[in-house]
Amino acid sequence: MSEVLDTAYEIGMSLVQGVLPDNRPEILKKISQTDWSTEQCHLYHRFLFAWAEHIKPSLIVETGTDRGYSAIHLAMGRTSAKVISIDNRSLCSDQLNALNVPNVDTITEDSLKVVDRFEDHSIDLLFLDSLHTCEHLSKEIELYVPKVRPGSLVFVDDISMTGEMAQGWARVAYPKRSIPKLHVTGFGAFQV
């Protein structure tokens, strides 16, 4: 197993075990307290914040914006990083843009259609959380991994949400680890 994967696992498990203090800005803590949907995502949002703080990335790409809470945790974990969040639903981009986080840009399009906007080896952290099918996850991995800097991690959310996602996760051919209890529907990391 790689040292980077081990470190991600240790940070995740420290959060699950309640060992790490919550050092996020108050705005992020408030989101976690007031939004019912973030209660089940609280730990993995904290993990995204902590990981961005830890690795000090320049470029973070997220596929699947939804409400934008993952993106703002990544962005506030490293305020000098550029975070690009991709979702084909304009409502999701609108919600994230309304949060006015200066280092976040949104792309309202299918993630598979915009991969060429990124240079090879330019992405320091990739977070895959878009269409939850085995086929889509496999295609995102195929297309986006060449854009990720060698040695970096790719996070995959909801790896046990459905049989299809479990199958997609099982197909990942890179060194990988799941981080138990970080998210109710599974969370994994693999190293490029």
pLDDT in tens, 30-87: 877 765 555 557 888 999 999 999 999 999 999 999 888 899 999 999 999 999 999 9
Fold of 3-191: Rossmann fold (3.40.50)
| One-character DSSP codes across 20-79 | S---S-HHHHHHHHH-HHHHTTHHHHHHHHHHHHHH--SEEEEE--TTSHHHHHHHHHST
How much of the chain, in percent, has pLDDT values that exceed 90? Answer: 80
Tell me the residue type at 110: D
Q: pLDDT per residue over 116-164, tens digit each?
A: 999 999 999 999 999 999 999 999 999 999 999 999 999 999 999 999 9
pTM confidence score: 0.95
Model confidence pLDDT, tens digit, residues 83-112: 999 999 998 888 888 888 999 999 999 999
Q: Are 168 and 134 in contact (CB under 8 A)?
A: yes
The confidence score (pLDDT) of residue 40 equals 59
Domain ranges for the chain? 3-191
